[in-house]
Homo-oligomer: A and B are copies of this chain.
């Protein structure tokens, strides 16, 4: 029986069953579940013990006695129109959840708030408006509004409730539980609070000598999660820095970076610098500033953990803002490990690829919670879905460990589930054992994902709430999901990274996203240097994969600025008078495995038309517009997909498109299975792994080098070949 690489949740009052489960599954670490204490028995186990630690909340006594040191958030009022005559009255916090946020009317509102005419985009001078009321009752009165104009108030607010704890509290009806309080966060930016945090951790480390791993959940600033007055999510951005602000932070920024930010730098017209927005230099400066501050402080805490003989582990979520695992300072914190939830191959790679930590751990689904583990629930299927998704990524870039969360008592009621995760854990260990830490052979053709964020958002592109499905993002997210399991080295490039030329190490650029967003690049494509860089790269032999609105920025006679390279463009309505010759689809290397099957482009870019006679259309929609095409440009090759939601078929299309655009058709057939639902990895020592993402049995031929095998794989099955 294999052991190790597994963390299990534990709970009190079931010591015997717990020990049996730990033994059966070979767990070498245990952790307390959310909101629970570790049982006494764990002290006597050979396993490592993780315990969660909350830095910036949980000490309600401190929070309530230092209300001025709570965290802040920048918010925008509703858009209010001036229709009648006389002054305009704007209820500042209308629509927000009063228990979570309250306007900070104690600060110098003339300096830290902004009233903006959203018709002109202009900020009103402070003498043209005044504050009436305080806190939740705050109103702004615009003395002489322009008739027909729209006004908003950007306001600083106190965060009265930690968003995660608020979510848990409301979701679990903790209002009925007299032992629960609403935890108010406090801000490490205030020296007094920072000293208190360090003292608390020091005391905690002393008090918890049985704990081996301090699992920070997490640090100082929560991602943006703001409820509406309906007591439901109003705005949630897993990457959001809106809640990292405060007057001392803004003052420190000015002192350190050399210029002052204003409320609108955070409010961003109400889009709050969503990662879909092309980031401004000012916002990137803020991220850099906060990243330095947060990592400096994390480093101190990690040092304390190490000094106590323990390891420090970071949960990738909740109050993770400012840590930036793909940023320049993360490794310097000394963090030993990162743990995060695995919802897809892309989220798996987001964890496993983090540079500079000793090990990574993926928390697998489903959580041992009663919502799934109930009569009629199907935790086995959820476990399988999680595994076939994550396995593609794990093969390419192994997580070091996996783990589960929740309450073992509920999982134990489902023996079939325990059987299945026992297999999954064994399969996971086998990958490590057979490969001895080596990654499989990747194509020598390196892929560069080009967007406005570059490496900072490695594997994090197009995500809205963490790994959730969104109608308007899934057609792009599929590209990342594929890449996370395909045999290519993937690098993430910003436009700055390519402005002077695409790096020689890159063979194929991928530009995927909706028009105007950070992911297709938006205004970056108005930069002639960017256009010239990519056009020259392809013209001289490089590959380009465009998905959705690649290079889109309407102007100079095109929507896609690389329409000449792609051989097609998006019809914006300006060229309806141009006659488009009817297109016909022919056979092609890219579509060879899915010939005759319809192409699912998802919620894709409409109205894509040919602008080159030598375009090779590969799929058309019902109205004859292009959904997939290939085009040779100069010495290079470009491939276009109007959308590419995740599926085995689309994964295969992208796989082939990468080979074709890299002028490397031949090596494709040296490591693949005929059936697109089966993927193949091979290692330098000759080991070959074939693994199926199908939920039914598959018989197919597996190719590796000049070898081939016919294999029968059960549902989600795998086979090692050699």
- Chain A residues at the B interface, C-beta cutoff of 8 Å: 76, 79, 81, 83-84, 117-121, 146-150, 152, 224, 228, 230, 232-237, 240, 269-272, 274, 276-277, 464-465, 470-473, 513-517, 528, 531-536, 539-540, 554-558, 561, 563-565, 571-579, 581, 603, 606-607, 623-625, 633-634
Contact = CB atoms under 8 A, between A and B. Distances in A.
A282 to B, nearest CB: 17
A473 B471 CA distance: 25
23 contacts: A79-B564, A81-B539, A81-B565, A83-B536, A84-B539, A117-B528, A118-B558, A148-B531, A148-B535, A152-B557, A230-B581, A233-B579, A235-B579, A271-B557, A271-B575, A276-B573, A276-B574, A472-B573, A513-B573, A514-B573, A516-B554, A517-B573, A603-B623
A240 B576 CA distance: 13
A114 B76 CA distance: 48
A274 B575 contact: yes
Given A83-B539, A146-B532, A271-B557, A579 B228 contact: yes
Nearest to A519: B573
A574 B271 contact: yes
Nearest to A476: B573
A565 B150 CA distance: 11
Contacts of A464: 576-577
A605 B150 CA distance: 24
Prevailing SS type, chain A contact patch:
loop
Contact of A574 (B232, B277, B470): B277
Contact of A556 (B269, B465, B533, B579): B269
A228 B517 CA distance: 36
A623 B579 CA distance: 33
B623 A564 contact: no
A235 B579 CA distance: 6
B470 A576 contact: yes
A270 B270 CA distance: 36
A472 B607 CA distance: 8
Contacts of A470: 576
A119 B527 CA distance: 8
B514 A578 contact: no
The 6 closest A-B pairs by CB, nearest first: A148-B532, A83-B539, A269-B557, A148-B536, A237-B577, A270-B557
A271 B611 CA distance: 13
A610 to B, nearest CB: 13
A114 to B, nearest CB: 13
A623 B536 CA distance: 40
Nearest to A236: B577
B119 A556 contact: yes
A149 B577 contact: no
Contacts of A531: 119, 148-150
Contacts of A271: 557, 574-575
Contacts of A147: 532, 536
Nearest to A607: B472
Given A119-B528, A237-B577, A532-B149, A540 B83 contact: yes
Contact of A576 (B230, B270, B274): B274
Nearest to A239: B577
A120 B556 CA distance: 8
Nearest to A611: B79
Given A235-B578, A516-B574, 19 more contacts: A79-B557, A79-B558, A79-B564, A81-B539, A81-B564, A81-B633, A83-B634, A118-B556, A118-B558, A119-B556, A121-B556, A230-B581, A232-B579, A236-B579, A240-B577, A271-B575, A464-B576, A471-B607, A513-B573
Contacts of A274: 574-577
* Interface core residue of A471, A573, A606, A624 (most chain B CB under 10 Å): A573
Contacts of A150: 531, 535, 556, 564
A539 B148 contact: yes
B577 A224 contact: yes
* Interface core residue of A81, A269, A633 (most chain B CB under 10 Å): A81
Contacts of A269: 555-557
Contacts of A228: 579
A528 B576 contact: no
Contacts of A623: 471, 603
A459 to B, nearest CB: 18
Contacts of A517: 572-574
* Interface core residue of A471, A557, A603 (most chain B CB under 10 Å): A557
A147 B561 CA distance: 15
B516 A557 contact: no
Contact of A555 (B121, B235, B555): B121
B528 A149 contact: yes
A270 B578 CA distance: 10
Given A150-B564, A230-B581, A235-B579, A572 B514 contact: yes
A574 B273 CA distance: 8
Given A119-B532, A471-B623, A577-B274, A81 B516 contact: no
A266 to B, nearest CB: 13
A112 to B, nearest CB: 20
* Interface core residue of A516, A554, A556, A603 (most chain B CB under 10 Å): A556
A533 B148 contact: yes
Nearest to A624: B471
A84 B534 CA distance: 14
Contacts of A83: 535-536, 539-540, 634
A81 B556 contact: no
Contacts of A79: 557-558, 563-564
Contacts of A516: 554, 572-574
